[in-house]
Amino acid sequence: MGDVANRLRLPLPRTSKLLGELEGLGLIERTRDCADRRRVTVRTSRAGKRTAAKLRGAHRGRLAGLLEVLGPRDTEQLLTIFERAADRLKTSNRGSAKGEFS
């Protein structure tokens, strides 16, 4: 759970509460490690993946509308800034690519 809290930059109690809420909604699944009962693995559930896909689609639609308003020149500048920010995040947040944390 500590890895998730660190990744989210949230205190452990808040992270635990948040994960409990997400689990209650059926968006994640938590399982204890058989070898080390202190260790918990968190995975996105099928319902969570479907919900995330819907949200991504909605965000893409909003972003497309924004880019349309900005025009080509401003859009190019914005994409350059996003690329730089993404590169920075990649180097500073080495996390699981599978959508799971322990």
Per-residue model confidence (pLDDT) at position 95: 53
Q: Which residue has better confidence, 101 or 60? A: 60
Q: How far is CA 30 from CA 2, 6, 12, 21, 77, in A?
A: 14, 17, 16, 12, 41
| Fold classified for 2-101 | Arc Repressor Mutant, subunit A (1.10.10)
Q: Per-residue pLDDT averaged across 12-26, rounded?
A: 95
pLDDT band of residue 2 (cuts 50, 70, 90) is confident
pLDDT band of residue 29 (cuts 50, 70, 90) is very high
Specify the DSSP element, H or E, that contains 66.
helix 46-70
* Predicted confidence (pLDDT) per residue in 41-99, tens digit: 999 999 999 999 999 999 999 989 988 999 999 999 999 999 999 998 888 766 544 45
Q: Which residues contact 11 (CB under 8 A, 6 or more apart)?
A: 5
The domain ranges of the chain are: 2-101
Q: Considering only CA atoms, which of 33, 36, 30, 35 is closest in space to residue 17?
A: 30
Cβ burial 41-68 (10 Å sphere, 16+ → b, else e): ebebeeebeebeeeeeeeeeeeeeeeee
* Radius of gyration (C-alpha) of the chain in whole angstroms: 17
Q: Considering only CA atoms, which of 78, 87, 80, 94 is closest in space to residue 7?
A: 94
Model's pTM, two decimal places? 0.63
